[in-house]
Amino acid sequence: MFKTKKKSIWKAVATVTALVLICGCFVGCGKTVSDKDEQGRTMISVGSWPSSEGESLDKMNARKDRFEAANPDVVITPDTWAFERQTFYSKAAGGQLPTVYMAGFTEIPEIIGAKYSADLTNVLKKRGYDGKFNDAIVEVLSNDGKMMAFPTMAYILGLAYNVEMFEAAGLMEADGTPKQPKDWNEVVEFAVKIKEATGKPGLVLPTAGNSGGWIFTSIAWSFGVDFMEKNAEGRWQATFDTPEAVEALQFIKDLKWKYDVLPANTLVNGEEWYKQFATGNGAMTITAGDYPRRVIKYGMSADKVGMMATPAGPKRHVTLLGGEVLCVKRNATEDQIDAAIRWIETAYNYSLTDEYKKNAEASIESQLNEGRHVGIKSMSPWNVNTEALAWYHDYIDSKTNANINHVRLYNEFVANCPADVQPEEPVCAQELYAILDGCIQEVLTNKNADCATVISNANSDFQVNYLNNLL
Amino acid sequence: MKLRQVLQQNKSMSQTRRRMRRRNNIDAWVLMLPMVIILYLFVWRPTVLGGVWSFFRMSGYSVGEFCGIDNYKMVLSHTQFMPMLWNTIQYVLWSLLIGFLPPLVIAIMVDEIVHFKSGFRVLIYLPTVIPGIAAMLMWYFMYYPDQTGLLNMLLSKIGVDPYLWLNDPKFAIIGIVIYSTWKAFPGTMLLYFAALQGVSSELYEAALIDGAGSFKRFWHVTRPGIEGLLLLNVVRQIISVFQVMEAPMAMTGGGPNGASTPLSLQLYRYGFNSGGKGTGQAMALGVIIFVILIVFTIFYFWLNRKVENRH
């Protein structure tokens, strides 16, 4: 009797579970998603929302409350998903992206190509953005003259250095300004001096996780390398099987085998790179102006962080342009795009509104509380004449938490850039970086590697495996 | 009359039996239904769709037009396909060489221990309960190529220069296999240990009386008792190591210069690191790996049946 009852319970549980699963499969089928709630307010979801309790979440919630009070026709739904290449395409295909999501300049050509971002041109025009953005950045984010993303942060690569190690090697002026290596040869001289003075590697470069290739492209450009071009038939051709590319790779190889100024680990991905630099296992590195946020977790405090201009190469003085954008998902309605831009404006604005000031001040305050360096003036997405930018730079000066001379040379480099500012490669950038990672690893682990053969193979791999497969 | 009654009785009994069987069948299906739905949603449907979509041009995860075997051509003509296949085979070979015997040896040792047997079993099982990424990071730092790596510290104590470990293309796969063996052997060890419990102690006593030494006891008593399990584990190990991905991804990123990239890591890159351009190729490579593994799987089931029949 008891056994029969128990069996019936199990059967009931199994039936209910099966029904729930079947119903779950059909939830959402045929449902039309409206952009309005019951009160007629436009609903937008915002990605990269802080997921853990703390100052960032409190500030974001306060920003949301102020925004909704000032814009009663809009309601914000927080979404903690932040851009990841690994999950982006499945979320996009499933229609699960937040209305507003953040992405990097590297990914923007692919996102635009896959039509996963909405055209913001009309709304931006309506809200007076014509001529307000930095022209170089507009070029990267446009498709057939249409603005497909809202730039929030931009940077150009510079040479970061460890202040204490520079001091130990006598490479600092009395006022805290570093000596600036003019070209790659001087970088090597500096690295050798630092190694002699401190016993630590003078330079650390990434070599894995696509970061190695990313940094190498900018070095190679300065040696005169062009990685690809479109031929007369409109097909992309890899063009870096050249003496210039071999020379650039030989430069990397010499850092290890001729000058011995690199760390022992030759598998350095993005995280390992900043860890090595922050913990004094590399006195210099080539990186973006936002690097203080990446090194603070390894204890590199504000007074140890320094930054200066990217050195010139034998053929060109060039630096890489990168940054972050906010995209609006492709099937957003015109009302949602308008609401999204209004939300974005509260933190990123050409016009000096009270709300913008409040959010910018809160952001700097958070950085100061974390002990992060404040003082680097990264490249701005805005035209230099915008009043918000002028105020923001003055505000950074007033809040700087270390000797401003440590980063003065980089700030001057950004303000009046003597170098060519070049965006990332237009197609298959990540795939190219992965192949170049392999080239760097090969020459750093094999003393007898022939740079010409390595480059020739890489050029052919890139053409056969990726460029030939582009439609 | 009597015969008719018996026949009638038999007929109604067989009807009742049939009804009960049918009812049991329905009960079984009701109980299995949730699992069948889950398997359909998360295993069968994706597997079949992956196979079908491998013949379509994909844009991210949106299905485009039919493209025949283009995705397969792209995968097979990838300049690194053969090196990656060879890497995968090397993982399998090294794992058999390094990883096959330790669980058996340790199981026999634990079986022989008289005191604190269960304590040892728990201690030996510990690597399995350490989260995978934490264990990989631990080994990554043990293998660290400068003086701060644990293994290099030990080498320096005996006056030997630091070694490159995972930075050496010739050692990268071996290093990962050593980690994987350390991580996975306790589970297999427990299987062997359970099998050893099943070997009759009378056989050991008889062998002892006959004057058999420890090796002869192992060869003539232990081995025949667990050889079915040993054979099955070889095939299971081949199938599982052929799909290795997490350890090379976390410990070497597939480097140096692709020296430790297996096919599954390439599949992951196609699927998740190609900006949506490689989804079709990911599915094609998935089918290729599936076809290779299905051969081993059929062999595994054939072997399993043989072993079950024997015992």
Sorted by where each starts, the structural domains of chain A and their CATH numbers stand as 42-153+323-364 (3.40.190.10), 158-321+416-469 (3.40.190.10)
Q: Quick: pLDDT tens for A124-135.
A: 999 988 888 888
A273 pLDDT band, cuts 50/70/90, is: very high
The verdict on pTM exceeding 0.80 is yes
Q: How many residues does chain B have?
A: 311
Q: Taking a C-beta distance cutoff of 8 angstroms, is the pair A188, A259 a contact?
A: yes
**ipTM given for this complex:** 0.84
Query: Using CA atoms, how far apart are residues A140 and A202, in angstroms rounded to an integer?
Result: 34
Structure tokens at B63: 């299905």
Helix axis angle for B101-112 and B117-129, nearest 10°, is 150
B28 pLDDT band, cuts 50/70/90, is: confident
**Nearest-CA distance B238 → chain A (Å):** 28
Grouping H, G, I as helix, E, B as strand and the rest as coil, residue A321 is strand
Q: Quick: pLDDT tens for B222-239.
A: 888 888 888 888 888 999
Q: Quick: pLDDT tens for B31-62.
A: 888 899 999 988 899 999 999 999 999 887 88
Q: Cis link prior to B256 (omega < 30° from 0)?
A: yes
Query: Using CA atoms, how far apart are residues A20 and A25, in angstroms rounded to an integer?
Result: 9
Closest Cβ–Cβ partner in A267, A439, A457 for B166: A267
> What is the per-residue pLDDT for A263?
94
Percentage with pLDDT > 70 across chain A: 97
| Pick from A378, A153, A192: nearest CA to A287 | A378
Closest Cβ–Cβ partner in B60, B61, B167 for A265: B167
> What is the per-residue pLDDT for A32?
58
Mean of the per-residue pLDDT values for chain A?
91
Query: Using CA atoms, how far apart are residues A358 and A342, in angstroms rounded to an integer?
Result: 15
Range A266-270 average pLDDT: 91
How far is C-alpha B112 from the geometric centre of its chain's CA atoms?
A: 28
**Nearest-CA distance B264 → chain A (Å):** 15
> What is the per-residue pLDDT for B224?
85
Query: Using CA atoms, how far apart are residues A426 and A241, in angstroms rounded to an integer?
Result: 18
Percentage with pLDDT > 90 across chain B: 44
List of chain A residues whose C-beta atoms are within 8 Å of the C-beta of residue B41: 21, 25
| Pick from A182, A184, A183, A203: nearest CA to A192 | A203
Structure tokens at A207: 């070599």
B309: number of Cβ within 10 Å? 8
Per DSSP, the residues of A187-203 read HHHHHHHHHHHHSS-SB
Q: Quick: pLDDT tens for A364-410.
A: 998 999 889 999 998 888 887 788 888 999 999 999 998 999 999 99
> What is the per-residue pLDDT for B311?
60
> What is the per-residue pLDDT for A3?
64
**Nearest-CA distance A380 → chain B (Å):** 27
Please determine, for residue A151, whether its predicted confidence score (pLDDT) is greater than 60.
yes
Range B63-89 average pLDDT: 94
Q: Quick: pLDDT tens for A190-226.
A: 999 999 999 999 999 999 999 999 999 999 999 999 9
| CB-based burial label for B122 (10 Å; 0-12, 13-18, 19+) | exposed
What number of CA atoms fall less than 13 Å from residue B50's CA on the CB side? 20
> What is the per-residue pLDDT for B143?
94
Grouping H, G, I as helix, E, B as strand and the rest as coil, residue B64 is strand
> What is the per-residue pLDDT for B5?
81
Closest Cβ–Cβ partner in B32, B79, B252 for A460: B79
Query: Using CA atoms, how far apart are residues A337 and A66, in angstroms rounded to an integer?
Result: 19
What number of CA atoms fall less than 13 Å from residue B61's CA on the CB side? 16
B95 pLDDT band, cuts 50/70/90, is: very high
A89 touches B: beta carbon within 8 Å: yes
